[in-house]
Structure 1
């Protein structure tokens, strides 16, 4: 009994290993302020800039330039064993990271050069478990509105058959240079409402 408490029981279960590589993320981060969000993300999809290390860590990516459109971005991922939680399915944090990435990038596609953004909130609804053997799934994000200071977007994770595994919405703070922020913008409908609510 004392030996068990002092030394964990050794097992003969097979061990898994995984090796991956990434590039300097500051290369792309340094180029981003000089490009529109659309141009930057399409450049990343072409391989002009390194993908973010979080994508290498979790195994998700933008497939190609066709996955980056104005106001719409698609990320692709194949559920793997290294994504699993203790109860045998993909961890909820993986869903959230995949959705947050797609949502933020969709908003980025509508921002001009020199304008940044950051997530204010992320709401995720988990509908079905992602598991090994499902094949590739997609996180498809679309922008709802962009005002001077606030942007909103929605996304869902779907498989090739169109089955939905999770949905999410986000609100992002848009960070414009001081001079640009002082210029009036034209807004209508939902954008005007969001701008008013943001105190603009």
Structure 2
């Protein structure tokens, strides 16, 4: 599922009333359609959600020189943010109306460097398990040839708003 053109130009903060009035999946689908704004971090780092379903999300981005560290490769924080985003949204996609979450911890394993020449990368988050108070998910970051760049796991705390 591809985002609408308005979804790629629509960034902002959603008010708490709107956020709590729908399930996580409804909320994420609203962002995907462009009915709700994408978070400002997506604009800052240049990524967008391209697919969402119960327990799974996909983000794409293209590494730029803006993402470089001093040794001319993409900063690990860019990788970590993409993976944290796809994993957290995989968790969010399973939450009922009026339920929130926060990342408690995540671990990222970096396997190969990225540069501006890497091209479009794909971050896919998948829910592993969710209970009443906690959830775990995994993420995979791949290049356009399907090669694994990095992978991660997360643990999230689930709570009522």
Match of 1:169, SS?
Answer: strand
Structure 1 stretches of at least 4 aligned residues deviating more than 4 Å after TM superposition: none
In structure 1, the partner of 2:90 is: 106
Aligned equivalent of 1:24: 12
Aligned residues: CA RMSD: 1.4
Structure 2: how far apart are the matches of 1:111 and 1:47? 20
TM-score by length of 2: 0.91
Give the alignment partner of residue 59 of structure 1, picking from 46, 50, 56.
Answer: 46
Q: Deviations over 1:83-108 (max 9, x none)?
A: 00000110011111111111100000
- Unmatched 5+ stretches in structure 1: 1-20, 178-200
Distance 1:167 1:136 in 2: 16
Hey, what does 1:15 align to over in structure 2?
none
Greater CA radius of gyration, 1 or 2?
1
Shift of 1:22: 6.5
Of Structure 1 and Structure 2, which has the larger fraction of its residues in strand?
Answer: 2
TM-score (ref. length: structure 1)? 0.73
Alpha-carbon distance in structure 2 between the residues aligned to 1:90 and 1:137: 12
Larger helix proportion, structure 1 or 2? 1
CA displacement at 1:77 relative to structure 2: 0.5
Match of 1:81 in 2: 65
Matches within 5 A, 1:1-200: 23-27=11-15, 29-63=16-50, 67-176=51-160
Residue 69 to residue 26, structure 1, CA distance change in 2 (3 Å): closer
- Whose RCO is larger (CA < 8 A, sep 6+)? 2
